[in-house]
Structure 1
């Protein structure tokens, strides 16, 4: 199979929390609130939560709580807690993230933002940042048949909906977790780039298939040119 040159990347699928949006422990804080809501000890779950950063949140709760009704209740509590943090002004863009997205678009590349959060939470984050019109498409697991990362579904949904690329090798997938990397590898993306501004370190990102490891998303335009 012939490799696609990085300069031929036409579709860039960017994660949000930890990649373009500062996390600052907000995900763990919201998880702790959800665990307490169900009468569980957050400290007993934190290692699993950290290891599965990037995965669809409902999938994490299904693993932790087993029963679907309890998982759904926990997920609702998590989304409510995170929404309250957004409303409190606790969410901010990572330095240079907006400028990077604008630069990628000025290069003629289509940019899609993805998340493991529910649509309501994703929309609240976008509104808080003033990013509602920054990219042509944003996706959450529900937009891709409910399967989030590490499945390739959101990446492939971006590929199909935007029609920006002719070949999956013309896709770049960028994120801060092993699950982001796995989703990119499974989608056949030509560039799978990990950033060190979020949950997982360089070794974890490379082990999961990263073709590049960057200090931040700001290094991406240079990789693609």
Structure 2
């Protein structure tokens, strides 16, 4: 969601700074490099496996991000709603996935008025593991029963971890967009089949 259909505008980094106010430049760089991944996994890495501190930092991150959303800092990527509506009108099944916790994802959906926009929404807790593992796209396919072959699955995201997740799931199309965290060279190096300016270009590609 964030960076692909939801404009990020630095909200993830702002929430991270609030969660770990004594962070180092290397830790911030790691957060930037792992955009799209499950946030609890990121904090476990940053805090050397200290589960208590990781859980505390993750809760602080989610609280800070939720506050930003409630303050109106959350907007859609221009044309995202219309794109999702078009995909569904064309008979495609749309699943929105995130690396955030379910409570944060639901808050985002409410803030945007997107509660019924997609066929399904998933967070890492729904699938077992977050990105870059294949669990989220495969869970989307299994729960919706929208296709009989993983090659009929299309994955689109703004991060390297999105790309790796789609490839690991065996998706027939893995597209990246340039409205989020990572650059075109990084996305292509990760193996994206296509790099698009925006999610609004996805229907034409399909």
TM range (shorter): over 0.9
Distance 1:128 1:120 in 2: 12
Query: How does 1:62-141 map onto structure 2 within 5 Å?
Result: 62-66=44-48, 67-141=50-124
Query: Counterparts of 1:175 and 1:41 in 2: how far apart (Å)?
Result: 27
Gaps of 5+ in 1: 1-15
Whole-Å Cα distance in 2 between the matches of residues 44 and 205 of structure 1?
21
Residue 211 (structure 1) aligned with residue 204 (structure 2): no
Q: 2:150 aligns with which of 168, 189, 193?
A: 168
Q: 1:119-178, CA deviations, whole angstroms, 9 ceiling, x for partnerless residues?
A: 000000000000000012100000012x10000001100010000011000000000000
Give the equivalent residue in structure 2 for 1:55: 37
Q: Write out the 4+ residue segments of structure 1 that deviate beyond 6 Å after TM superposition.
A: none
- Using the TM superposition, give the Cα deviation of residue 43 of structure 1 relative to its aligned residue in structure 2, in angstroms: 3.6
**Counterpart Cα distance in 1 of 2:116 and 2:194:** 28
- 1:46 Cα shift? 1.2
Task: State whether residues 169 and 190 of structure 1, in contact with CA within 8 Å, keep that contact through their aligned partners in structure 2.
Answer: yes
Count matched residues.
205
CA distance in 2, matches of 1:77, 1:99: 33
Tell me which of the two structures has the higher relative contact order, counting C-alpha pairs closer than 8 angstroms and 6 or more residues apart: 1
TM-score between the two structures when normalised by the length of structure 2: 0.98
**Is the 1:31–1:78 Cα contact (8 Å) retained in structure 2?**
yes
CA distance in 2: counterparts of 1:53 and 1:222, whole angstroms:
26
Structure 2 residue aligned with 1:25: 10
Q: What TM-score does the superposition give when structure 1 sets the normalisation length?
A: 0.90
String of CA shifts for 1:24-48, please: whole Å, max 9, x gaps.
0000000000002xxx225442111
Distance in 2 between the 1:44 and 1:187 partners? Answer: 30
Aligned-residue CA RMSD (Å) = 0.7
